[in-house]
Amino acid sequence: MVIKTVVDKNPLADCGNIVIGHRFVGREHAIETIQNRILVKNGGNIAIMGLPRVGKSSLVWKALVEKREEALKNKIFIIRINVGNISKSENFYKMLVSQLFDDLEDEGILTDKKFDLLIKYKKIIFNHSCYAKKLNLLK
């Protein structure tokens, strides 16, 4: 009896992770639809919904995150947050702003001076907003 070791990785071994590179196949129409909605001058929002484990995150990764550098040239900033465990809207907004600031710093876009200016504007905006107290953004 001959035992042969399989060299190829099981394509289902990382189920639940984002599929990138040569392992992502098809869905060209969906990718094009997303890019035409988001990566254009006056683009808008889009909701991507579906059952668990059908590839929503992989689709968004392929359509948008892989195009991040190109989008930056057009002043479109793409961030990725995992909303799977968020149960309150204020937690969503806190996570969104936190990730945005982290990514802006990582890209070298947000300097200390610009950060101070953002904090100043945040206080001005939220002092006049009915959401300021609810979201605890002025702490």
Q: At what angle do helices 28-38 and 56-63 cross, to 10 degrees?
A: 60
Average pLDDT over residues 89-105: 82
| Helices then strands, each counted (H, E), the chain | 6, 0
Q: What is the pLDDT of residue 78?
A: 83
Q: What is the pLDDT of residue 124?
A: 63
Is 124 or 27 the better-scoring residue by pLDDT?
A: 27
Residue 138 has pLDDT above 50, yes or no: no
Q: What is the pLDDT of residue 55?
A: 84
Query: For residue range 100-132, what is the model confidence (pLDDT) as tens digits?
Result: 888 888 888 777 777 777 777 666 655 555 544
- Percentage of the residues of the chain whose pLDDT score is greater than 70: 75
Q: Give residue limits of the domains in the chain.
A: 1-78, 79-139
